[in-house]
């Protein structure tokens, strides 16, 4: 089964192929992420009642880390390749390595939702935005943002160390929809990938002022 990265026909082919062959929603998602958006995907652990499927009793991030023994599915993989990879790791969560096609700016979900409305009204370019079941929002931005974040915040006047905003870069992974994270529930898109935002995420500096402002206001309003 073939399709072209960035094509609407590719999306239709993936989804219709999944329905015809009874593939899981995870397989469909992996094929979209690798084949259409050009993202690598890592099979991840799951958790139930705080116990991680990796089998380590001292696991520091139950259900929220890649499986060490499972190879990544590389960008460009087809639906058949994604299905074969997930057959070797049934039930694995879909995880995305950060620092390659994108970095991530993480804020509280409530602040992220308010910032997203502001940014859309301002007409600023936006990448995909995901919400996690533990109340965090992940804004996908251009690679390199995590390393630049402290200096960018400082230049914008946001040098408060208690600001609830952080960057995720190389070495980090995020759980992607439709997978469950840490046994708490599924991750979901607040703003799903599309043909432009997934392959060309925005520079962090375009969003950072609004994200920092809203995160600061949200923290202030939560104070007794």
Residue 6 domain-assigned? no
Question: Could you give the CA distance from residue 189 to residue 46 in angstroms, rounded to a whole number?
Answer: 19
Give 122-155 pLDDT, tens digit per residue: 999 999 999 999 999 999 999 999 999 999 999 9
Count of CB atoms within 10 A of residue 177's CB?
19
> Is residue 1 a part of any domain in this protein?
no
Is 38 part of any domain?
yes
Place of tokens 């997203």: 116
Q: What percent of the chain has pLDDT over 90?
A: 74
Determine the average pLDDT of the residues in 40-47.
Answer: 96
Strands (E), the chain: 42-44, 47-48, 51-52, 93-97, 103-108, 129-131, 136-141, 165-168, 173-175, 188-191
Residue 3 lies in a domain: no
pLDDT tens sequence across 61-119: 999 999 999 999 999 998 888 888 888 988 899 999 999 999 999 999 999 999 999 99
Residues facing residue 47 across a β-bridge = 52
| 20 alpha carbon, distance to own chain's centre | 27
Residue 139 lies in a domain: yes
- d(CA 193, CA 198) in angstroms, rounded, equals 5
Query: Which residues constitute the domain of residue 176?
Result: 14-220
Tokens 């943002």, located at residue? 145
Which pLDDT band holds residue 14 (cuts at 50, 70, 90)? Answer: very low
Label residue 221 by pLDDT band (50, 70, 90).
Answer: low
Give the CA radius of gyration of the chain: 18
Q: Is residue 8, in this structure, part of any structural domain at all? A: no
The number of distinct structural domains making up the chain is: 1
pLDDT given for residue 162 in this prediction:
85
- Percentage helix, strand, coil for the chain under 3-state DSSP, each rounded to 5: 35, 20, 45
**Domain contains 2:** no
Residue 66's beta-bridge partner residues? 44
Residue 9 — very low, low, confident or very high, per pLDDT cuts 50/70/90? very low
Q: Would you say residue 9 lies in a domain?
A: no
What contacts 19, CB < 8 A, 6 or more positions away? none
């Amino acid at each position: 089964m073939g399709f072209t990265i960035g094509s609407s026909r590719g999306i239709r082919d993936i989804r219709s192929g999944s329905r015809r062959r009874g593939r899981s929603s995870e397989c469909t998602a992996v094929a979209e992420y690798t084949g259409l958006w050009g993202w690598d995907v890592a099979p991840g652990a799951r958790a139930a009642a705080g116990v991680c499927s990796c089998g380590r009793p001292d696991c520091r991030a139950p259900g929220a880390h890649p499986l060490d023994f499972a190879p990544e599915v590389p960008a460009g993989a087809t639906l058949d390749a994604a299905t074969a990879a997930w057959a070797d790791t049934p039930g694995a969560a879909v995880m995305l390595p950060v620092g390659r096609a994108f970095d991530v700016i993480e804020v509280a979900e409530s602040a992220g939702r308010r910032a997203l409305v502001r940014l859309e009204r301002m007409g600023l370019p936006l990448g995909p935005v995901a919400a996690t079941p533990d109340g965090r929002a992940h804004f996908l931005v251009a690679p390199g943002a995590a390393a630049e974040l402290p200096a960018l915040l400082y230049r914008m006047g946001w040098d408060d160390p208690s600001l609830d905003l952080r960057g995720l870069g190389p070495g980090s992974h995020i759980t992607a929809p439709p997978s469950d994270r840490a046994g708490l529930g599924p991750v979901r898109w607040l703003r799903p990938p599309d043909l432009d935002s997934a392959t060309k995420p925005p520079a962090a500096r375009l969003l950072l002022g609004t994200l920092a402002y809203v995160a600061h206001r949200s923290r202030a309003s939560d104070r007794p």
